[in-house]
Chain A
Amino acid sequence: MPLSFALSASVFQTPPPSTQLFNNVWNWYLYLGVASGAVTFALMVYILYRYRSRPGNVLSAEKSREIRETWKGPIVIFALMGVVLIAVGAQTVIALPTYDNPSNSPGLIKVGVIGQQFFWSFSYPDNKTIACPCDVPVNTEVIFNVTSRDVNHQFGIPDFRVKTDAIPGNYNIVWIEPNAIANYTIQCFELCGVGHATMISTLVVVSPATFSAWLNSTVSE
């Protein structure tokens, strides 16, 4: 199974924007990375086979004492690697502003995320705090403002390719724009204590109508 499958084998028909951005950059790294690895391995195998010790290939004293100082070779190697690294690095640099910054489209919704040993809670603009799961409307930009009440946690929604640290006293932002009505896993990705493995929540994407009905019906804690 190619590595790219492991990522794209997700629940989406059309991936949401953050996932698309990520997958695009990921593919650059994947294809160029695998190609570079393949070239290196081919070179290795060829050299090891070609220069193996055999009756026709015995080492001369000159060969074992030859001075092999060169700058040309290393510069060519640097340049070749540099081209690949610039190619992939550029993808990151180009995509990063969009990935980092929410577009602030009208109708967006801001959700506060609080990590605590060992659960997530989510607060909505009307200041009602609602424990897990996290309900959001479909086709709407959702901005998560992430913090923690105790230790370091890490808030991640793998299907949307977003993740950020939940740090006490700090607020970090990620955004998503769900485009299908479905449930997604939210999980903690930083060791936070004995409950780390089970610090799992659900992102419930519902229709806007259901969402506003749900928001109005939830009683403030």
Chain B
Amino acid sequence: MKEGYSPTLAWLRKWLFTTDHKEVGLLYFWTSIWFVAIGGALAGLMRTQLAFPAPWDILSASAYNQAVSMHGLIMVLLFLSPLGAAFSNYFLPLQIGAKDVAYPRFNAFSYWMYLMGGLVMISGFFAPGGAAQAGWTNYAPLNSITFSPGPGESLVGLGLLMLWGSLTMGSVNLIITVLTMRAPGMTWKKLPPFSWMTLFTQVLLLFSVPSIFAGTLALITDRTLGTVFFLNPAGSTILWENMWWFFGHPEVYVVVLPAFGAIAEVMMVFTGRPIYAKKALMISLGLVLVPFSFSIYAHHMFLTGINPLQREFIDLNTEINTLPSGLLVICMVLTAVGGAIKFKAPLTFALAALAVFVIGGISGVFDSSVLLDQELRGTYQVVGHFHYIMVGAAEFGLIAAVYYWLPKWTGMMYSSAVAKLHFITSFVFFNMTFFPMFYLLEMPRRVYTYLASTGWGSYNFIETLGAYGFILSQFLLLYVLVQAFRHKGTPAPPNPWNSAGPEWTSDPKSYIDNYPAVYASAPSGEHAPHVMTPLNSRPFTISLGLGLTFLGLIFSWALLAVGVVLAVYGVYGWAKDDLGGVFKMPGEEKVGEIWPFKHDGGDLGVWRMKMGTWLFLASDLVFFSAVAGLLVFVRLHLPDWPAVGSVFNTPLVAFNVLVLITSGLTLMLAIQDSKEGKGASMTKWLVATLILGGTFLIISGFEWVDQFAKGFTFSSGMPGSTFYLMTGLSGAHVFAGLLMLTYITKKGMSGKITKENNSSLRLFSLFWIFVIAMIVVLFPALYLM
């Protein structure tokens, strides 16, 4: 034991710096519990305000709008999806027999970005003017600085940016984990349903997040630099709604699918029967539900005046997407046929989730009708519908997961009497809160008060009582959790439910290996005295730095300076760790079935990085598509666009693009040299690439200055806004590429890029060529059309 060893410090060090998937999973879990406490308190406030008609006045209109906006954002993005992620982090590697996730450091990074982003979002409550109050959907132009002048909305935008980063990294990580890290014998056929659902969830995130990432960036530039995307009628609300709901609708499935994964596991264990028609079910989810969820998002926009034919198409698609969801419920129910059903706590919640999902789903079919939507939209019927899905199906399903996996987490059993009481009170009070909403077909959402003459008072009063009861019942769950995590009560056997799930067979004592029998050798790593996890401080440092930077933008320059220093130090440290080989990736000795992909025979870790890079680029492609979509949208809605050659210095831009293309060639030459083992020549070409990339940025910067001088600025109109956003994002990509290239050049100079080990260079070239391709495609669209 080291001199000056302190248990508290060791504890802190472990939880701040851990990269172990189980510990990161628990961090996700407790953080989401913490956020739900805030979201739940806001709900309690809202219900109190709505208990009686005017002149009942507990919250002001502004306070109510803050509560309703932050409640939605917190519950969907900071509670439900991360709660699903908690289980995915913890149990996906255990279920597939892996040592950890594919990129443990990025996993920790995802978590810290989520936490810091969430804190930035809710810090609005302490800002002048309060938190965001434009609804969780942040509709334009209410989200603009003109109509929401306070910093609350900006903080939400900045926090969301961090969250989008977190979700993108997390989805690449978990998808690669399940694609490439299944133990020998863990075939697609045997993959447990929870792992399937995690895969679907992460695929949805990977392709839906980039759209709102671009949208949020445009919102931030609107609010800070004065661009006009969401104020100008050529962009405004329809542009925002497209970008928001392309993410927002798949997000519903992101919330629900992990819950259904847990429900499927629980149904199997407590009925003793395998899933009914698992193959058909997974195929219908993967081939219908996931892709269709992207094609139906515009059903949130039926009343915006979109094309009637498009509306009917979306209506139809929405109803088609009811099929796999309905099949999912029926298959879960039919799973019990022929079994011997034991009504333990996990099963009661799983069944409750299925039952309320039926109500939530059927009420949603009403909203899918273009015609019925014209009465129902914006009313409490919709609020009832999605709470039946979100609170009912998703949260009940995830509570089932808690009761099911808690013994695995903590090694402790819980009082089944308390759990059953929790079930009964939750179920009764849930329905008491949300069923009356189906009668409030004419009451608008998000109103802080209503007139007594409407007759809505009695329903609202019942709902409020139900909400109080529901909130109070959750303390029973909290009691169970605290008891178990503090190791009070009876110890649980290793597999208390006699589950056949592979996660129950992992060794609870082996923190690093999960399956020491499968993997003989333990990886080397940095070990604290009795903490067996590989620790790394960089994810925490970078996230904290970014969080402070964003808070600093709003609150104080000092905070901003500290944040920037921390973030830069963190990134520098990350690169330094890599150069020094400090942090080892979990390298499995064996892999199982990896169909449909091929392992190229080289190092498994490198192969995994390559797969991850491709996935990230796929996501980045959606990002550029969203930006291109923005350009197309703006051009379609804006009659006057500067004529070719009038504002832009086209010859200079053409030359600049050529410079960038040349940098691609020099990079190829560097790779060729590295393959031939010519280290010195390779380094020269790398430096040439750096110089060419830098030249591109300098010329772009010169062009910006030139345009500004001509009066073509961020705020001079839609063409200016679009021009600066597109060139800015391209420039940011090039800048990020140059940072990575600097690192690689450094590595090359110290002789660490060799014939055998040039993977970092080759992975980087994928990114660099991708960025060049994007710019070659986008710039003509911007400058010449």
Contacts and interface: CB of A to CB of B under 8 A. Distances in A.
Interface stretch (B267-275, B473-481, B725-733): B267-275
Contacts of A1: 439
A69 interface: yes
A145 to B, nearest CB: 11
B contact residues, range: 35 or more
Nearest to A5: B439
Contacts of A25: 369, 371-372
Nearest to A192: B142
Interface stretch (B17-25, B321-329, B402-410, B464-472): B321-329
Residue among B323, B337, B369, B447 having the largest count of chain A Cβ atoms under 10 Å: B369
Given A47-B334, A63-B273, A64-B273, A92 B315 contact: yes
B221 interface: no
Residue among A34, A59, A74, A169 having the largest count of chain B Cβ atoms under 10 Å: A74
Contacts of A85: 319-320, 322-323, 365
B238 A151 contact: no
A167 B237 contact: yes
Given A29-B365, A65-B274, A53 B305 contact: no
Contact of B379 (A26, A29, A189): A189
Nearest to B329: A40
B286 interface: no
A181 interface: no
Residue among A36, A169, A171 having the largest count of chain B Cβ atoms under 10 Å: A169
Residue among B354, B371, B500 having the largest count of chain A Cβ atoms under 10 Å: B371
Interface string B99-140: 000000000000000000000000000000000011100011
Given A78-B323, A88-B365, A48 B274 contact: no
B273 A66 contact: yes
B355 A169 contact: no
B375 interface: yes
A169 to B, nearest CB: 3
Given A36-B362, A96-B370, A156 B271 contact: no
A100 B339 CA distance: 51
Contacts of B359: 37
Contact of A53 (B334, B338, B342, B439): B342
A188 B444 contact: yes
Contacts of A172: 303-305
Contacts of A77: 326-327, 330-331
Interface string A142-161: 00000000111010101001
B462 interface: no
A101 B322 CA distance: 28
Contact of B336 (A41, A48, A95, A164): A48
A43 B236 CA distance: 48
Given A59-B339, A68-B275, A88-B369, A167 B358 contact: no
B316 interface: yes
B562 interface: no
Interface stretch (B277-285, B510-518, B546-554, B577-585): B277-285
B277 A68 contact: yes
Contacts of B338: 51, 63, 66
Contacts of B65: 191, 193-194, 196
A25 to B, nearest CB: 5
B272 A191 contact: no
A53 B366 CA distance: 38
A117 B144 CA distance: 15
A70 interface: yes
Contacts of A151: 139, 141-142, 147
A1 B733 CA distance: 59
B448 interface: yes
A208 interface: no
Contact of B279 (A69, A78, A152): A69
A75 B437 CA distance: 34
Given A25-B371, A78-B327, A154-B303, A44 B333 contact: yes
Contacts of A81: 322-323, 326-327
Residue among B323, B362, B377 having the largest count of chain A Cβ atoms under 10 Å: B362
Contact of B272 (A33, A59, A73, A117): A59
Nearest to B337: A47
B447 A68 contact: no
B319 A89 contact: yes
B44 interface: no
Nearest to A65: B274
Given A63-B338, A152-B237, A165 B450 contact: no
A33 B308 contact: no
Given A68-B278, A92-B371, A57 B340 contact: yes
Contacts of A171: 305
A165 B304 contact: yes
A52 B327 contact: no
B614 interface: no
A81 B334 CA distance: 16
B142 to A, nearest CB: 4
A57 B336 CA distance: 13
A122 interface: no
B237 A3 contact: no
Residue among A29, A151, A187, A193 having the largest count of chain B Cβ atoms under 10 Å: A151
A131 interface: no
B441 interface: yes
B374 interface: yes
A3 B277 CA distance: 35
Contact of A163 (B234, B377, B449): B377
B278 to A, nearest CB: 7
Given A43-B333, A66-B274, A168-B233, A92 B303 contact: no
Interface string A66-109: 11111101100110011001001101110110011000000000
A174 B61 CA distance: 29
Contacts of A67: 274
Contacts of B30: none
B438 interface: yes
Nearest to B338: A63
Given A68-B278, A74-B277, A51 B141 contact: no
A182 B333 CA distance: 51
Contact of B303 (A150, A161, A164, A188): A164
B141 A150 contact: yes
B137 to A, nearest CB: 8
A82 B324 CA distance: 11
Nearest to A40: B358
Interface string A7-18: 100000000000
A170 interface: yes
Nearest to A50: B337
Contacts of A29: 365-366, 369, 372
B142 A93 contact: no
Nearest to B136: A191
Closest 4 A-B residue pairs measured CB to CB?
A: A169-B233, A189-B378, A197-B447, A158-B442
28 contacts: A6-B438, A22-B375, A29-B372, A33-B362, A41-B358, A48-B336, A53-B340, A63-B339, A65-B274, A70-B276, A70-B277, A71-B280, A74-B280, A88-B369, A91-B369, A95-B371, A96-B308, A96-B371, A150-B147, A152-B141, A152-B142, A164-B303, A170-B304, A189-B379, A190-B378, A191-B142, A194-B65, A197-B449
